[in-house]
Amino acid sequence: MYYKLKDCLNNLEKFKAILNSVKESERLAILKQQDNSGNTILMLAAECGYLDIVKCILDLVPAADLQELLTVQNRSGNTVFHERTNAVKEYMLKSVPPAKLYSLLAIQNEEGHTALHHSARGNNVQLMKYIVESVSATDLSNLISTQNKDGQTVIHSLASFSCKDIMKCIVDHTSN
């Protein structure tokens, strides 16, 4: 079933028909299946920027199963929130209840990067503003101070990519 879905990632109607043909109780198991690189169908759709496919998957996965699907890591330790296009990442993050957002963003890959390290590179002020406003001050502090294997934090990433607007957003939020 994984490869049937993979083959029609660029055809929403066909993808939706195949996924709808699967019993709701079996969808999570199918969507958690991984290819040789450890990527799930959701990861592949997000990586390719297929927002309609991502929306379809998130709409058809029961809310109780969503957290489990979103925390699957590939062989590099990346979740669906690492290295994905900003529009897709923003949509997925907004589909997560704020109370569960921190646990998803805190997952580190094999290099020690969190999804926030990767988001910093994209310099997406709106996405970072959403994150900053959605997590508690304590969680935000933990997220931005998490070090990768090289000892670099999100703040280091922001500084190296000249993301002044995002840094201002974080400073404004943490100083209030």
Per-residue pLDDT tens for 55-93?
999 999 988 899 999 999 999 999 998 876 677 888 888
10, pLDDT greater than 90: yes
All domains in the chain, ordered by first residue: 1-85 (1.25.40.20), 97-176 (1.25.40.20)
What's the pLDDT tens digit per position in 33-50?
999 999 999 999 999 999
pTM to 2 decimals?
0.86
Contact 96, 66 (CB under 8 A): yes
State residue 91 phi and psi, 5-degree precision. Answer: -60, -45
